[in-house]
A and B are shown apart, each in its own frame.
Chain A
Amino acid sequence: MKEEQLRQLIDGCIRQDRKSQKEVYKAFYSFAMHICLRYAADRDEAAGLANEGFFKAFTKINSYDVARPFRTWLGRIMTNVAIDHYRANLKMAYNEDLDQAIHLGHDEVASARLNYNDLLDMVQRLPRSYRTVFNLYAIDGYTHEEIGELLDISPGTSKSCLFKARAKLKQWIQDSDAPAPGKTYGSAENYLPIVAFNGAMVPPRDIMKGIDRNETGYR
């Protein structure tokens, strides 16, 4: 989208013009969803976060500084919405004890066969607190001190969550490199998504009965 066109649409959003808002929504939906998908457990939750983020963006559009990139501003809103969502769900946070986490060897973790969907699935399978800390630190570039302030936790807790998140991810990557019977990660051709509904794992075959992969879009 050209800068001038975007400026006109933002002006329309300031006037609460619904058509302009929809154009902005369509233009930045994918960008917003990619952020929310990393912080959410599944696509529906991510859609809810994106919906909330766009709502805040459209209702607070007057606070947007036109001298700065709209994309950055919107991305920050989405991240903040995800953080708010995490804080609002602290009681539900699934703090899995990973003290017994498998100590992995120092093998290389990069796997050429892991694509976006595989990695996203792994991140989404992380417990909420680990997922949030990993996203903020590894992908969005926050420090442990900043994460501590954002999530109302100590920097030490943030480091602990990051350590345990990495351990989980390493384990799953190793598993995907050596697929066992029933494991689907890494097999790009026969990939079936594992979707977590409320923490309960639904077998891929059941999921695929009612969902067309093309309709779900993002996969």
Chain B
Amino acid sequence: MKRDIDKQLDDLFKNSLAEPQHKVPHREEEWDALAQRLDGASGNKKIIALWWPISTAAVLLVAVGLWVLMPKAIKQKQQPQTAVIKKNLIEDTNDQKESPAQAALPVDVSNSKPQRLAANNINVAPRTLDRTAVNRQGALPSQPTQVTNLLPNDAAATDQPPASDNGQAPVGTTVTEQPVIAANTLPANNTAVAATTIVGADSMNNNIAATRDIAQVTAEQNKASIKTSASSFRPQFALSFMGAPEVNGLGAMLNVESGLNVGLLFSASVNRFKLSTGAAYSIKRYGSSYDPWGYMAVARGYSQANVRSGIIDIPLNLDYQLYSHAQNKFSVGAGISSYIMTSQNYQYSYIDPDFNPTEMSIGTTDRYFASTMNLQVTYTRQLTPKFGLSFQPYFKLPLKQIGDSQSKLQTAGLAIGVNWNLNTLRKK
């Protein structure tokens, strides 16, 4: 009997309310409000489309700016080693006399020193060459001549035959056969590089024979001939614990609120690049004009919502090291973050204090994949081989709308972190 009564009651309401016959006319102001929201939604997409090139240009600008403004001495130190290779074509003694010994010195003198060559593991092969090196006075060199030949074939090294090809020394010169140090490691077809180096024994005393042609071999070519230490390709793994005060806001960041971000990151560095990921929990506060009640809120004198969101930030960043000297390192980076929004709380204020509700809480978890783009500059100070401190100003730009309020949340902050290297890269 009771069930019948309940069903009768349900049917009464269902028949009357489910499919009512009369129409509810729409209100133009409600459509206007909806159209405005739709315009805003499509406008945001245009803004997002512009963010990518703007952000990319900003990162490139910062990177180039830092590079240009960096002290020259530091740049030279960071520049790859350049081997200056000279080909001594002794044709007449007049040229020799006009060629000051200092001008014949390599720019990077260290590359001409046998000690450095040996240190760079250049393959050294004893060789007898019928080329000569003479001192400026035409006298016999007091020390053996060292020849570094980076070409596999002597004939390819020059378009002019060496003065000693016929086995005879030029007039006025003293010919000597000396042991040479040769490095025959470049590809045979690399004839563009004039790679015969004949550095007289006097070069050690800044008395080098006359030189006509100077060619440069780039670092890559030089490195190709050098057996590089395998340890430079080993990745450096590290853990970082970071905390950051930050500010959050929408739009032009005019109405920002402070927040907090703490997280644990794992990174792997190879050469100048560092890839990092992890998780950070942040409490983000920001002002929003979110209107969950639509037209009704306007009627209630709704003004502003203060939003407090709990967000798990999962970043994936790539950093490039611009500068490294002693324990100091500077790098710039970019990446994307995925947000997991664990909580949302909206505090509403009304012109009329008697209006309710004043608070709305959403406990559901929402996920936003690749919702934010990260830009950061990092300064790292290595305290010990294991531990270091890092200071990282960062900026997070929205790629998606997040939260129940569909907010385009921007964040700027300064992360301070402690780094712990999981492995060391000491040469064994």
A binds B: yes
A interface vs B, CB < 8 Å? 16, 18, 21-22, 25-26, 29-30, 33-34, 37-38, 42, 44-45, 47-52, 54-55, 58-59, 84-85, 87-92, 106, 108-110, 114-116, 119-120, 123, 134, 137-139, 166, 169-170, 173, 198-199, 217-218
Offer 20 A-B interface pairs, CB within 8 angstroms, sorted by A.
Answer: A16-B38, A25-B26, A29-B25, A37-B24, A47-B295, A55-B38, A88-B404, A90-B361, A106-B2, A109-B12, A110-B8, A114-B12, A116-B16, A120-B16, A134-B13, A138-B9, A139-B17, A166-B6, A166-B10, A170-B9
B interface vs A, CB < 8 Å? 1-2, 5-6, 8-10, 12-14, 16-20, 22-27, 30-31, 33-35, 37-38, 41-42, 291-297, 299, 354-357, 359-364, 404
Please determine whether A87 and B8 come into contact, CB atoms closer than 8 angstroms.
Answer: no
Q: With A48-B296, A109-B8 in contact, is A18–B17 under 8 Å at CB? A: no
Residues of A close to B2: CB separation below 8 A: 106
Please determine whether B6 and A58 come into contact, CB atoms closer than 8 angstroms.
Answer: no
Q: Distance in Å from the Cβ of A42 to the closest Cβ of chain B?
A: 8
Residues of B close to A87: CB separation below 8 A: 362, 364
Please determine whether A45 and B31 come into contact, CB atoms closer than 8 angstroms.
Answer: no
Residues of B close to A138: CB separation below 8 A: 9-10, 13-14
A207–B37 alpha-carbon span in the complex (Å):
30
Q: Distance in Å from the Cβ of A36 to the closest Cβ of chain B?
A: 10
Please determine whether A119 and B24 come into contact, CB atoms closer than 8 angstroms.
Answer: no
Q: With A88-B404, A116-B20 in contact, is A51–B14 under 8 Å at CB? A: no
A199–B356 alpha-carbon span in the complex (Å):
9
* B296 (CB) vs chain A CBs: closest residue: A44
A109–B8 alpha-carbon span in the complex (Å):
7
Q: Distance in Å from the Cβ of B37 to the closest Cβ of chain A?
A: 6
Please determine whether A198 and B356 come into contact, CB atoms closer than 8 angstroms.
Answer: yes
Q: SS class of chain A's interface: helix, strand, loop or mixed?
A: helix
* A40 (CB) vs chain B CBs: closest residue: B296
Please determine whether A218 and B24 come into contact, CB atoms closer than 8 angstroms.
Answer: yes
Please determine whether B17 and A48 come into contact, CB atoms closer than 8 angstroms.
Answer: no
A71–B1 alpha-carbon span in the complex (Å):
36
* B29 (CB) vs chain A CBs: closest residue: A47
- Which 6 residue pairs are nearest across A and B when measured between Cβ atoms? A48-B294, A44-B296, A51-B294, A138-B10, A48-B293, A29-B26
A109–B292 alpha-carbon span in the complex (Å):
36
Residues of B close to A120: CB separation below 8 A: 16-17
A33–B293 alpha-carbon span in the complex (Å):
14
Q: With A59-B38, A106-B1, A119-B17 in contact, is A47–B27 under 8 Å at CB? A: yes
Please determine whether A91 and B38 come into contact, CB atoms closer than 8 angstroms.
Answer: no
Residues of A close to B33: CB separation below 8 A: 51
Residues of B close to A16: CB separation below 8 A: 38, 42
Please determine whether A198 and B355 come into contact, CB atoms closer than 8 angstroms.
Answer: yes
* B39 (CB) vs chain A CBs: closest residue: A18
Q: With A138-B10, A218-B24 in contact, is A91–B360 under 8 Å at CB? A: yes
Residue in A88, A166, A169, A217 with the greatest tally of chain B CB atoms within 10 Å? A88
Q: Distance in Å from the Cβ of A112 to the closest Cβ of chain B?
A: 10
Q: Distance in Å from the Cβ of A118 to the closest Cβ of chain B?
A: 9
A199–B292 alpha-carbon span in the complex (Å):
18
Please determine whether B356 and A92 come into contact, CB atoms closer than 8 angstroms.
Answer: yes
Please determine whether A116 and B17 come into contact, CB atoms closer than 8 angstroms.
Answer: yes
A110–B8 alpha-carbon span in the complex (Å):
7
Please determine whether A139 and B18 come into contact, CB atoms closer than 8 angstroms.
Answer: yes
A91–B33 alpha-carbon span in the complex (Å):
27
Residues of B close to A90: CB separation below 8 A: 361, 363
Residues of A close to B27: CB separation below 8 A: 47, 217
Q: Distance in Å from the Cβ of A102 to the closest Cβ of chain B?
A: 14
* A107 (CB) vs chain B CBs: closest residue: B5
Residues of A close to B37: CB separation below 8 A: 51, 55
Please determine whether B364 and A44 come into contact, CB atoms closer than 8 angstroms.
Answer: no
Please determine whether B22 and A116 come into contact, CB atoms closer than 8 angstroms.
Answer: yes
A52–B295 alpha-carbon span in the complex (Å):
10
Q: Distance in Å from the Cβ of A212 to the closest Cβ of chain B?
A: 13
A199–B355 alpha-carbon span in the complex (Å):
10
A123–B34 alpha-carbon span in the complex (Å):
27
Residue in A48, A49, A92, A199 with the greatest tally of chain B CB atoms within 10 Å? A48
CB-contact partner of A109 in B9, B25, B30, B360, under 8 A? B9
Please determine whether A119 and B13 come into contact, CB atoms closer than 8 angstroms.
Answer: yes
* A47 (CB) vs chain B CBs: closest residue: B295
A199–B23 alpha-carbon span in the complex (Å):
27
CB-contact partner of A44 in B20, B299, B360, under 8 A? B299
* B354 (CB) vs chain A CBs: closest residue: A198
Q: Distance in Å from the Cβ of B159 to the closest Cβ of chain A?
A: 67
A141–B361 alpha-carbon span in the complex (Å):
28
Please determine whether B360 and A169 come into contact, CB atoms closer than 8 angstroms.
Answer: no
CB-contact partner of A88 in B14, B25, B31, B362, under 8 A? B362
Please determine whether A166 and B26 come into contact, CB atoms closer than 8 angstroms.
Answer: no
Please determine whether B359 and A48 come into contact, CB atoms closer than 8 angstroms.
Answer: no
Q: With A47-B30, A90-B361 in contact, is A21–B38 under 8 Å at CB? A: yes
Residues of A close to B404: CB separation below 8 A: 84, 88
A130–B346 alpha-carbon span in the complex (Å):
24
Q: What would 9 more interface pairs be, CB under 8 Å, given A25-B26, A218-B22?
A: A54-B34, A88-B362, A89-B360, A115-B16, A119-B17, A123-B13, A139-B14, A169-B13, A217-B24
